[in-house]
Amino acid sequence: MSAVQTNDWIALLGYYVAAIVSAVMPWVNAEVLMLSAIPVAGSRAVLAALVLAVTAGQMTGKTIAYWMARRSCCERSPRVSRVLEWYHARFSGQPRAAVAMTFVSALVGVPPFFLVSIAAGALRVADRKSTRLNSSHVSESRM
């Protein structure tokens, strides 16, 4: 393995980790991170790999934020609890609205995907497939 290939792997790992940090701490800008990848990449293939590494890092970080909010056991203020209950009731009745807002947020960034990830975790929003699979699994195990 040549030194260039080793450096490429180190850069991929570094950009992946930096993207996770960027996803969890929104003041670390992923766009600036990607702009810095242009001079680092020695070829178009390496640049494409860096884009994939940052994308995977962003999704890993947002997933971490989602699960941290979902498993949060800290006391919430009465105001925050009321707001969460209101949104939970709204999205429970219209699960497609939650999916649509998540998609729009991921696509255009409004509302910020960071906040949507945390809110989805706090509201315990799950995709319909996993909910359906889990509920069918429970009913079979009770038989």
pTM of the model: 0.64
The tens digit of pLDDT for each residue in 62-110 reads 888 888 887 776 677 788 778 878 877 877 777 787 778 877 777 776 6
- pLDDT-derived band of residue 51, with 50, 70 and 90 as boundaries? very high
State the residue for tokens 């949507």: 116
Gap between the Cα atoms of 66 and 125, Å rounded: 10
State the residue for tokens 């850069």: 11
C-beta of residue 101 within 8 angstroms of C-beta of residue 49: no
The tens digit of pLDDT for each residue in 99-122 reads 788 777 777 766 777 777 777 777
In 10 A of CB 57, how many CB atoms? 24
Q: Residue 77, Cα to own-chain centre: how many angstroms?
A: 25
